[in-house]
Amino acid sequence: MKLITMEAFYIIGGAGLLLMAARIARDATHPKRWGSAAFWALLAVTFLLGDALPPVVTGYLVLAMAVLAAAQQVGRPTEQGTSRAERMAHEQRLRHRLLWPALLIPATALAGTLLLDKVHFGGVWLVDPRQVTLVALSLGALLALGAGLRLTRAPPAAPLAEGSRLLQTIGWALVLPQLLAALGGIFATAGVGEVVARLVASALPTQHAFVAVLAYCMGMALFTIVMGNAFAAFAVITGGIGLPFIVRLHGGNPAIMAAVGMLAGYCGTLLTPMAANFNIVPAMLLELKDRYAVIKAQAPIAAVIFIANVLLMWFCVYRF
Amino acid sequence: MIKLIGVLVVAAGFALRFNTLLVVMAAGIATGLCAGLSFHEIMTQFGRFFVENRYLTLPVVLIVPVIGLLERYGLQEHAERFIRGARAVTAGRVLLLYTAVRQVSIALGVNVGGHAGAVRPLIAPMAEGAARARHGDLPEEMVQTVRAHAAAAENVGNFFGEDIFIAVGAVLLMKGFFEAVGLAVDVWSMALWGIPTALAAFGAMWWRCRRLDRSLARVAAKTTGAERRGGP
């Protein structure tokens, strides 16, 4: 048994989203008042009732959210944040104390990750050890909120207003990572990976040891670009290319192949809009005009690291 | 081959800049129908995976209220002013240091940072502040470039430190895979073979940060030059 589960935090998050939707519905100046309110309310429902609703109902709710977003009914409010002069005045007063709540999030995450999974009373665990990172991060966010409210003496409606403003800056892209994960699941069910692995393996002369390495690394990166997730690529590409060619045919070291191959996959993650939580959501969060700006900044880095990985694997995998 | 239709739908949809949520749903529906699932079954899959993956969205939802609150009271301004006091600081060096901290901490199993929790409130304003302290006011496109690189610093630090720690996803996933196919592979050797790439990633980031600082200097020189030519 576990005392603190993620379900509790999903409910807190869902409640916050529902309040946000209500705020939007009351805002007569919001240019996309009803569409936006409906979108965030639907998301709130999936957080509050996620496990209780039959998956097929959630599926149709998600479809409704996608349709609202595609019909351009989800938008940002007209209300502006505070002015720079106001913020500077507060900053003069609060100074370094402003950093404490912000640092409380990583500090709690750190302490929680190290300690929380060790606490148990007989068979009753405080936290599920598998969820400890997420629980610690969520706890950190809530503790920081308390500390922030104490420090600024802001009314409790202020974090709701500011959180709502930031979430609407991200907009519908916020749920893109969840939806892409779902697409990845459907790809996996349909066996898309096996097709990609077969294509790469048959297109290249893998009887050469170097080509086998190149095919494996390219397969990892390409399939990660398609799926948005190197973990999904790993089993498919290692099973389809890595094991048969590098390990069995050429006698390569599986540990080196796996470690370096996974990191070649991460180069794909740096390049793909499918990895929305790393590449698209941050572009929205940082208010970048080009939603591919983060990917463009990362592309040269990814290319360098990818080449380094191919060379590293080629020099080491058959030698150690 | 027909199973790849979803990949095509995604590529075409992204290229034509249709709404991404709709593109993703369309790709899933097309792939599912080709694999012989009914529309209802596809919606069931979407619903199941959507709920299972709520953990991807939850941290952002829980963190933005406090970050927004602190921003209202001048957190970004403070981060910017704080960095202006330091002498040898440049935008590139701030970001490189952040990448290093991120890589080392996650290699030790501690996941601190994140786009919502650290990059937007602290790291991006610090990098912008460092650039302004050195070069004066920046043109909007350079501000955007600095911010995009701040997000890149977070991703590179996060991805290329993680595999060195044995108790996280990647290494455990690889171990599980090898066990399933009947190969005994040591987790420690997989973790240690992550180190060369981690160093290469840091090197690549160092190169990008240096280029960022140089292009900031170049743009600043050009704008002040133009002002000089304009004259009073």
Q: Which residue of A has its CA nearest to B40?
A: A56
Instruction: Look up the ipTM and state it.
Output: 0.85
For residue A95, which phi and psi values (nearest 5 degrees)? 50, -135
Q: Which residues pair with A2 in a beta bridge?
A: A125
User: For an interface test with A, which of B8, B41, B46 has the most A Cβ atoms less than 10 Å from its Cβ?
Assistant: B46
Range scoring the smallest mean pLDDT among A157-166, A298-307, B81-90: B81-90
User: CB-CB: which of A54, A192, A288 is closest to B3?
Assistant: A192
Report pLDDT for B18.
85
Mean pLDDT of chain A: 88
Residue contact B151–A286, C-beta within 8 A: yes
A15 CB within 8 Å of a chain B CB: no
Residues with Cβ within 8 Å of residue A244, at least 6 apart in sequence: A201
Report pLDDT for B228.
46
Q: Rounded CA gap, B6 and B32, in Å?
A: 9
For residues B31 and B1, the answer to whether their CB atoms sit within 8 Å is: no
State pLDDT tens for residues A104-160.
888 887 788 778 777 778 778 788 777 777 888 889 899 999 999 999 898 989 999
State pLDDT tens for residues A239-263.
888 888 898 889 999 999 999 999 9
Confidence of residue A170 (pLDDT cuts 50, 70, 90): confident
Report pLDDT for B230.
46
For residues B111 and B79, the answer to whether their CB atoms sit within 8 Å is: no
User: CB-CB: which of A137, A149, A191 is closest to B3?
Assistant: A191
**What would the mean pLDDT of A213-235 be, rounded to a whole number?**
87
Per-run averaged pLDDT (10 residues), chain B, 232 residues: 80 82 91 90 92 88 91 87 82 94 84 85 92 88 95 94 71 81 83 91 96 92 61 45
Residues with Cβ within 8 Å of residue A269, at least 6 apart in sequence: A224, A228, A229, A230, A275, A278, B155, B159
For residues B200 and B122, the answer to whether their CB atoms sit within 8 Å is: no
Spans of all domains in chain A: 2-172, 191-316
The DSSP secondary structure of B197-225, one letter per residue, reads: HHHHHHHHHHHHHHHHHHHHHHHHHHHHH
For residues A320 and A216, the answer to whether their CB atoms sit within 8 Å is: no
Report pLDDT for A10.
95
Q: Distance (Å) from the C-alpha of residue A229 to the closest C-alpha of chain B?
A: 11
Q: Which residue of A has its CA nearest to B153?
A: A298
Report pLDDT for B167.
55
B99 CB within 8 Å of a chain A CB: no
Report pLDDT for B168.
60
Residues with Cβ within 8 Å of residue A89, at least 6 apart in sequence: B74
User: CB-CB: which of B22, B49, B110 is closest to A113?
Assistant: B110
Residues above pLDDT 90, as percent of chain B: 42
**What would the mean pLDDT of A167-191 be, rounded to a whole number?**
85
Alpha helices, H only, A31-83? 33-48, 55-70
Tokens of A73: 């009914």
For residue A2, which phi and psi values (nearest 5 degrees)? -125, 140
Q: Distance (Å) from the C-alpha of residue A226 to the closest C-alpha of chain B?
A: 7
Report pLDDT for B232.
46
User: For an interface test with B, which of A133, A262, A274 has the most B Cβ atoms less than 10 Å from its Cβ?
Assistant: A262
Report pLDDT for B46.
92
The 10 Å CB-count burial string (b at 16+, else e) for A253-285 is: bbbbbbbbbbbbbbbbbbbbbbbbbbbbbbbbb
Long-range CB contact pairs, A182-185, < 8 A, 24+:
A182/A62, A182/B24, A182/B28, A182/B45, A182/B46, A182/B48, A182/B49, A182/B50, A182/B53, A183/A274, A183/B6, A183/B10, A183/B24, A183/B27, A183/B28, A183/B31, A184/A227, A184/A228, A184/A229, A184/A232, A184/B49, A185/B45, A185/B48, A185/B49
Number of H helices, E strands in chain B: 11, 0
State pLDDT tens for residues A48-81.
998 899 999 999 999 999 999 999 898 888 867 7
Report pLDDT for B177.
82
